[in-house]
Structure 1
Amino acid sequence: MDFVASQQDVDDIPLILKPTRMAFVPLLEERRREIESIRCETYQYGPTDRHKLDIYYPPSDSVKREKAPVLIFAYGGGFGTGERLYRPPIDLIYRNVGAFFAKRGIVFVIPDYRLVPDAIFPQPAEDLRDAVRWVIDRAEDASNPVPLDTANVFLLGHCTGANLIVTMLLLRGLLPPDIRSRIRGVALMGGLYHISEGSTSVNHAVIAHYYGDRQQLRSRTPLALLDQASKDPQQELPAILVLVSEREPEDIMQSNTRFIFRLGRRHTEVCSGHQHEEVCSGLRHEDVQLFEMDGHNHISPELTLWTGQGEEWAIRVLDWIEAQCGSE
């Protein structure tokens, strides 16, 4: 984490991406044997090479209940990049995340999804929905040796992944009620929910390909969908945990502030010694919590797992999942 603290220009995600990753590669390499000891299986959930998912299975002695909660992870990459499996020397990235949560009793799922230029709105969100559907429908096939608790499904999304989760939840007609009812909570990490011409954290050519023209962009971003959903008295959201890095780019920080503000209720959350109170707009939902990831930049949270540094955010997610499962 000392390297992360020393970085300048944290608003420039492409600039800090490779150096941040490479700073953690040696630390992950030291734990390779432990990370790879966690069982992982690959499944096909759709018709293309981008429709594959990996399931990380918890050791049976780590599961606290008869069945293990499911956490489905949507990684980031700006709609144009991202892989569930990377090649060496960064091949432990995301494997470390799956192994970390599985080691602690969670069935962890990482799906790939279609990317620009082969995808336009809302196809990646549809892919995410289909991955969730596959896990629910094929739980028995995919649950050896640990049964999956498909009544307790959670989603974790970083950056673009958080965007896709919110789109999946809010775009009218995309998520069937039988899937929505099984999603107990979503953890949204460093999401960009509003995109303007001044946004510095995106490739605007990729955004134009994905969303369409300016009018389509304005109506399709998560904040726009949230505003539309707030007018529907029947629209419900699961519990929400919003995670932001201390050193997020300014446009992402502002986007999260606006997103929280609009979520629909007044809440107070103690976060890293600071008290955040947001007055929201009336959208129905069960719970919203905020957690600031101390010392992190936009890239670093996933990289820290199994290094013994900066893992507090993941422990917070685990505690949150346990609380939601315990509230049945």
Structure 2
Amino acid sequence: MKINQYLLILLMLPFFNCASRKFKDVPYTKGISKTDSLKLNVFEPRQPSAEKLPVIIFVHGGNWNTGDKDTYGLIGRNFAKRDVVTVIPSYTLSPKANFDTMAKQIAEALQWTEAHIADYGGDPNQIYLMGHSAGGHLIALISTNPKYLETTKAIKGVILDDAAGLDMYSHLQQQPPKSENNYKTTWTEDPEQWKAASPIYFLSEAAPPFFIYVGTKTYQSIKIQNAAFLERLNKFQPKVSPIYLKKKHVPMVTQFFWPWSDRYEEILGFIGLK
């Protein structure tokens, strides 16, 4: 069945290309090296239904040490086909960067989007953040910790897809960071930094609206941290209730590769297009 689905997607790729336009490797800020720049991809519909369309910035996961924006082009095209301009940024991975540098870079991707997305048919007043796994952590962090943005007014909503790292302070107290997976670099060995990295401790009435997916077959640490995050979030946003899906961690994002996924209709409802 899965082989048939992949074959169907391959057959439909020309349609996706006709329905959307991709702008690849647009520089948005300087990288770690003075000679490097971080880049993003933008996807816009070829025949938009309005002059200004809502925008989703999708941030990929990969345990903070792997991943590539170009892997997720189908997500950009699937949203663009539905009249959502989509931005997919790269960011510096561990061990070349820690969580703080990554979060600052994603905040800069948001600022670039505010300043330039109108050139691609997007509405800078309708920007939503979406992230899977480590990407979910980074968007939750910049949406809650005031260190990263002077104001979160530009963020109309936050979509967490099986987000990791929502309470690294509690997690790393039980399982201190090791060199494995570059965790000593990503999180440091300072408990104060673990807390600063944890979005759960920065939730407040100022937080943007959240929309949350959690896999019932995902990693136990993700289940625990999402449950704790939701309990605290509900003090400020009592109507938020996660959508639980019978999936493991990776399928929670690959489901978005399928253009017929029900997730798109749910997200369109969240951003006000349904």
Matched, 1:60 2:47: yes
- Pairwise CA distance, 1:228: 4.6
- Pairwise CA distance, 1:243: 0.7
- Pairwise CA distance, 1:215: 1.4
Gaps of 5+ in 2: none
Decide which structure has greater helix share.
2
Aligned length: 263
Matched, 1:28 2:13: no
Matched, 1:109 2:84: no
Structure number with higher relative contact order (C-alpha < 8 Å, ≥ 6 residues apart): 1
Q: Identity over the aligned pairs, expressed in percent?
A: 23
- Pairwise CA distance, 1:68: 0.2
Matched, 1:296 2:247: yes
Normalised TM-score (structure 1): 0.72
Q: Which residue of 2 aligns with 1:209?
A: 185
**Residue 207 to residue 306, structure 1, CA distance change in 2 (3 Å):** closer
- 1:3-60 CA deviation, whole Å, 9 max, x = no partner? 6xxxxxxxxxxxxxxxxxx996545323322233321002100123561011100232
> What is the SS of the residue equivalent to 1:317?
helix
Distance 1:251 1:23 in 2: 33
RMSD, aligned α-carbons: 2.8
Matched, 1:261 2:231: yes
**Residue 117 to residue 181, structure 1, CA distance change in 2 (3 Å):** same
**Residue 203 to residue 54, structure 1, CA distance change in 2 (3 Å):** farther
Where do 1:1-328 residues align within 5 Å? 25-37=6-18, 38-42=20-24, 43-48=26-31, 49=36, 51-61=38-48, 63=49, 65-85=50-70, 93-140=71-118, 142-143=119-120, 147-177=121-151, 180-192=152-164, 193-195=166-168, 196-197=171-172, 204-222=180-198, 225-230=199-204, 236-265=206-235, 284=236, 288-293=240-245, 295-305=246-256, 307=258, 311-322=261-272
Corresponding letter in the other structure for 2:58: F
**Residue 25 to residue 194, structure 1, CA distance change in 2 (3 Å):** farther
> What is the SS of the residue equivalent to 2:242?
strand
Distance 1:188 1:75 in 2: 11
- Pairwise CA distance, 1:96: 1.0
Gaps of 5+ in 1: 4-21, 86-92, 266-283
Corresponding letter in the other structure for 1:304: Q
Distance 2:255 2:90 in 1: 21
Normalised TM-score (structure 2): 0.85
- Pairwise CA distance, 1:166: 1.4
> What is the SS of the residue equivalent to 2:93?
coil
| Contact 1:237–1:286 (8 Å) recurs in 2 | no
| Contact 2:45–2:81 (8 Å) recurs in 1 | yes
